[in-house]
Structure 1
Amino acid sequence: MTVLPYTPETPSQTAGPYVHIGLIPQQAGFDIFQNNFGNVLFVPETPGERIRIEGRILDGTGSPVRDMLVEIWQANAAGGFSHPADRQYNQPVDPSFRGWGRAGTDFETGVYAFETIKPGRVIGRRGHGLMAPHVNFWLAARGVNIGLSTRMYFADELIANAEDPVLRMIEPAMRRDTLLARREQRDGKTVYSFDIHLQGKRETVFFDV
C-alpha cells in the first residue's frame, strides 16, 4: 500500500454558471429525471386549506435571482410530517400529502410558486409547546456555496406566532418580519406572498441547520 503525501485542501469555489441545469433540468428544457418533483404538494383528496405560496428571491441590489432552486418541507394540516422520524408524538400521518416540493424561480420573472395546503401547528422539540404553522425553505444556486435555510410563517397567525419558540428567539429589531408571509385573495384563491432577500437592509433571517 502506498501512502500518498499530504496535500493542502483544494480551494473552494461557488457553483458554476450552469448549475440550474442540474438542479431544475425540466425548467431548463432537459428531461433527464424519471421523476420530476414538482411544486404541487397535494392531491384532490388531501385535507386542508388550499393555498398558493409565491414570491421572488432578491439579491443585495434588489434584483430577482432568476435561476434559483427552491425546496420546501412542511407538516400536513394536522401538524404531522411525512417522515418516519416524526412519530414520537403520534401526530396524524396523511398519505395523500407529500409534504415536500421543488421549484425554480422563473427565468423571466424571477417568481417561484408552490401549490400546497396550510400546515397545522407542530409539536416543538422534546415535546415542549407548539410551533406556529410554518414552511421550511432551502435555497441553492450559482454563487451560493452552501444551501440557505429559512422559514416562512403566516402573518395572519398572530396568536400562534407569538407563542412560537423560534420566532421568540428573534428580536423584532432583528428582522423577525422577514419571516412573515402576507395573505391575500386573488381570483378566488388564497395566496401567501413571501419574498426572500439574500442580502441588504431587508436580508431574510437564515438558520444554521
Structure 2
Amino acid sequence: MTWEVLNIIGTIAFAISGAIVAMEEEYDILGVYILGMTTAFGGGAIRNLLIGLPISDLWNQGALFILAITVITIVFLFPFGALKQWKKWGTFTDAIGLSAFAIQGALYAASMNHPLSAVIMAALLTGSGGGVIRDVLAGRKPLLLRGDIYGVWAMLAGLLIGVGMVNQTWGLYALFVLIVILRMLTVYFKWSLPYRSLKDANYSRKER
C-alpha cells in the first residue's frame, strides 16, 4: 500500500512539475506531454537500469501512464491566472516528487536485498533522475548538479531505509514529510553545498 501511494504521489507531482517547466519554456502541447511524462517516469527508468530490472517493466504501469496524461492535460488547460499562481508552488511539487520517488526507489532496491550503496543510489536516481531529464530537455542546469542541496536529501532517505532505521508504514510517511520539509527549508534558507568556480581564475589568466 505504501509503495503504491508513493508511486501515485510522485507521478502526479513530477507530471505537474514537467508540464509547468515545459510551458515556462513555451513548448507546444507535444513538448508539454513529453516533458511531463519523462519527468514522471525518467527516474524509474534510470533506477531499473541501476538495479538490474528491465526498463520495459515501466510499460506495465498503464494506470500511472493514464494518471500522468490526465494530470498533464489538466495543467495544460488551467486558466492562465490560476496557472501563474500555481507556478509559485513549483518547488513544492518538485519536493514532493523528490521525496516520494526517493523513498520508493530505496524500498525497491532494499526489497531486492541490494547492498546499502545500491539502496542509496537507487533513492538518488529515482528521486532526481526525472528532474535531471526535465532540466536537460528544457535547456536548464539540472538542480542535482548545482550548489543547491537537492540530491543529498534523497540519499538521506536511502541511507535511513538501507540501514533499517525506517521500515514501518508510519515511519515511511514520516520520512516522506521530513524530506519535503528539508527540501523546502533548503530553498527558503538558500542552503547550498560547497563548490569552487574557475571563472575568476580563467578571467585572471586572460587579463595577463
> TM-score, normalization: structure 1?
0.33
Query: More strand by proportion, 1 or 2?
Result: 1
Could you say which structure has the larger radius of gyration? 1
> TM-score, normalization: structure 2?
0.33
Query: More helix by proportion, 1 or 2?
Result: 2
